[in-house]
């Protein structure tokens, strides 16, 4: 079953285009919409519940195939800020560079998202 969408894909793509055009000028609402849209895209291309991806304060999603987490602190967590997340999903920043530059925290054996990033939907538009 595909993940439930909360962000209209048209609005999400528009927000992502606006952010890509000028990240420094993007409003808080534009960033929030772009982050939520791309989190939902990740859950769509990497369905599962093995990794919790957090981009505070804008959103979080469970994705990646593997054992489902149900209680307490998840064993596989990725957390980063909105700008880093949007750079990762658009291909402006590689996973390896984000890890090396301490721009994200990834814990757990399944918390490497390099196989799914950048997101095709974020690069094409």
Task: With a cut of 90, say whether residue 83 has pLDDT above it.
Answer: yes
Percent of the chain with pLDDT over 90: 77
Task: With a cut of 60, say whether residue 105 has pLDDT above it.
Answer: yes
User: What is the model's pTM?
Assistant: 0.90
For the sheet containing 59-63, what is the strand order?
59-63, 51-55, 77-80, 104-107
Mean pLDDT, rounded, for 62-78? 80
Report the phi/psi class of residue 81: left, alpha or beta, with left for phi > 0 and alpha for psi in -120 to 50: beta
């Amino acid at each position: 079953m595909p993940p439930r969408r909360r962000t209209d894909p048209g609005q999400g793509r528009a927000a992502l285009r606006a952010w890509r055009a000028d990240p420094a000028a993007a409003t808080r609402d534009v960033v929030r919409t772009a982050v939520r849209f791309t989190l939902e895209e990740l859950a769509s291309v990497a369905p599962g519940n093995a990794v919790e991806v957090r981009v505070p304060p804008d959103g979080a999603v469970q994705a990646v195939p593997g054992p489902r987490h149900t209680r307490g602190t998840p064993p596989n967590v990725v957390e980063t800020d909105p700008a880093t997340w949007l750079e990762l999903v658009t291909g402006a920043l590689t996973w390896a560079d984000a890890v090396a530059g301490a721009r994200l925290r990834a814990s757990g054996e399944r918390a490497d998202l390099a196989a799914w990033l950048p997101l095709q939907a974020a690069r094409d538009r």
